Structure 1
């Protein structure tokens, strides 16, 4: 890991087309501006982690999703399949 000290207004260049600019320093945090091509994803790590955890939890809960929906609908059973058309 490269560790740098930067002052407000200074920049960090990543490759040929990504620029990080230090915008402000407040207490124990900083504001960083990121200029990157549209095709580059720029995401906060804690948001990605929270979405991943929510997806894992939803997948676990999905096992009984049909039963939970039935309970919400007052125990209604799904409609039966219509009878097959008689063959001619």
Structure 2
């Protein structure tokens, strides 16, 4: 990990395309501006983590019958498997 000290108004480069400028500092907060090509994704870490969790949850596969049974139980419906269900 690289640690830099910059004052308000000072900048640094990441690669050749991304410029980060310190706009202001106050107490324990820092305002920064990021100038990057539109092809470069810039996300707060907590948003990137939430996106990953959403993608992982969406990737989980459930059988339609299982989903219907779960919804039925939530609605207070029948808790037994339908007739003909051989599982």
TM-score over 0.5 (shorter chain): yes
Deviation at 1:49, TM superposition (A): 0.6
User: Which ranges of structure 1 fall in alignment gaps of 5 or more residues?
Assistant: 76-88
Distance in 2 of aligned mates of 1:47 and 1:20: 20
1:33 counterpart SS class: strand
User: Which ranges of structure 2 fall in alignment gaps of 5 or more residues?
Assistant: 79-87
1:42 counterpart SS class: coil
Structure 1 match to 2:21: 21
Distance in 2 of aligned mates of 1:57 and 1:25: 38
TM-score (norm 1): 0.64
Distance in 2 of aligned mates of 1:9 and 1:22: 5
Distance in 1 of aligned mates of 2:57 and 2:39: 29
C-alpha offsets along residues 50-74 of structure 1, whole Å, 9 cap, x if unaligned? 11112222333x414x2335746x8
Distance in 2 of aligned mates of 1:4 and 1:26: 17
Distance in 1 of aligned mates of 2:4 and 2:16: 19
Counterparts in 2 of 1:56 and 1:15: CA distance versus 1, 3 Å: closer
Structure 2 match to 1:31: 31
Q: Which has the larger radius of gyration?
A: 1
